[in-house]
Structure 1
């Protein structure tokens, strides 16, 4: 059993904490918001109870929750062996966080960045322990995904890599090795799909349902790019695309204005109840999207297929 700190209690952080606790590890889950921590625990309990129904293993929710300690103070991480950071994909926030983790965590602690785009070597440079910083890109929903991208930084030591690999394998995750580069593999490809799909809606070429139907029926994907975008979160995807655009200065990563409008309007996908689709009791109604001039207008859209 490893004592693991998890920073950030959003969708990804809650999933990481659940996956660790299900695997028998003790977890210290930290977030600046007490409300976020309560929501995370409620979500973990529900996911555990529904695991069998969703095709997963039977999970004792009580045992899982008993392994998770929560708090709003980073000092709770002082004696952890590994810390997995899951805060929003905002470089300024991460740049502020990592020096604080570096000061608080014991010298042997390995810091793991669960980032979807920011290079690991850059993150490691914000600490005094670059040899003990590695990247792991978990997929959503974390407890149900069997593989992750594993990204050592330029200075990550063999010992730190081994520690992270063993932890991942104990969680039932297959680490797929990826060289350190902005966006790694999955987001370099998937975010171009999602961003271009948003452009098709924005330009009035096709509805969200039509675009997703092409991906499901013609390509055999279980979900279309806009369904996936709603699942991840419009704001989260936009942040990652902006990181790619800023890093590469390449127009193929230019964020679709529709995504910015939707974030401004609070249409974040499943977590807000509405994005490209409606989610919830009235999910059969239309969702708000953008017309060809970029103004928010009603466009017919359906719920999950």
Structure 2
């Protein structure tokens, strides 16, 4: 497998994946069709490298080398064929992901992955020319800090592809877990269950968001509470996942009305500046 690593989508997850891949020595091509988001991507990535240098996690030369390994592309049509890896990181919409994956598959990558957190890999693989080289690569936010990578094996995924994905995860500095292709996989089913119940508790007036989070951090040793994590992931992302899981497993995953209302109001969490907490400059207030 060659070192060319293509990431499709320059949202929160795509930026994080591109940053980590470039830091691990890959020649990264970050594809973003939205002009506004593409224009913002260089500054967002530069801020990640600058912060890593300030905090002593990277020296200036390593940060500069990472920057030099990353190229922005306006579309997949600009990407030369034959990359080692393509990871799709667009929003959790089945048809959108299928369109992007079909275009990515035409590049004939050695390994094709989707960063989906809940959509069936088997469903995403429908129509792909080489489904045996396709699987889920579910990264966690923030990608540069979270060591877990969920490798999701689809119905057609070969053992060789799974082995290559596990090796890739380790090269990226991740600790992989391999799971079967069932809706929500392992982490989303568990994480969303806790997040949705915490949102219901806010709606019921059980406690303030900060106190609900503190209870889980201090009482159960979670590194961050479920409501702050929802803000970090994005309320819109959580809503999409909940609806996917509701369709698969029934109303135990029905999204609370409060979540639906907050997304409709544009209160999406950290990325919008307001969710269950107020965020300013990326920092919780």
Q: TM-score, normalised by structure 1?
A: 0.87
Deviations 1:221-273 (A, max 9, x none): 2211101000111111111111111122x221000111111111110111011
Show structure 1 runs of 4+ deviating over 6 A: none
**Residue aligning to 2:186:** 185
Q: How does 1:87-166 map to 2 (within 5 A)?
A: 87-102=90-105, 104-106=106-108, 108-166=109-167
**Residue aligning to 2:63:** 61
* Structure 1: tracts of 5 or more residues without a match: 284-302
Let me know the Cα RMSD of the aligned residues. Answer: 1.9
In 2: Cα distance, 1:100 partner to 1:170 partner: 26
Larger mean CA deviation between 143-152 and 235-244 belongs to 143-152
SS of 1:100 mapped into structure 2: helix
In 1: Cα distance, 2:27 partner to 2:59 partner: 19
| C-alpha deviation, 1:195, in angstroms | 0.7
Query: Do the aligned partners of 1:34 and 1:71 also contact (CA within 8 Å) in 2?
Result: no
Query: Do the aligned partners of 1:202 and 1:258 also contact (CA within 8 Å) in 2?
Result: yes
Q: TM-score, normalised by structure 2?
A: 0.93
In 2: Cα distance, 1:209 partner to 1:170 partner: 36
| C-alpha deviation, 1:37, in angstroms | 2.3
| C-alpha deviation, 1:39, in angstroms | 2.1
**Residue aligning to 1:20:** 21
**Residue aligning to 1:258:** 258
**Residue aligning to 1:290:** none
Q: How does 1:189-200 map to 2 (within 5 A)?
A: 189-200=190-201
SS of 1:178 mapped into structure 2: strand
1:83 matches 2:86: yes
121 and 170 in structure 1: CA distance in 2 versus 1, 3 angstrom threshold? same
Larger mean CA deviation between 162-171 and 80-89 belongs to 162-171
* Structure 2: tracts of 5 or more residues without a match: none
**Residue aligning to 1:297:** none
Query: Do the aligned partners of 1:11 and 1:40 also contact (CA within 8 Å) in 2?
Result: no
Count residues with an aligned counterpart.
282
| C-alpha deviation, 1:41, in angstroms | 2.3
| C-alpha deviation, 1:44, in angstroms | 1.7
281 and 41 in structure 1: CA distance in 2 versus 1, 3 angstrom threshold? closer
In 2: Cα distance, 1:86 partner to 1:281 partner: 24
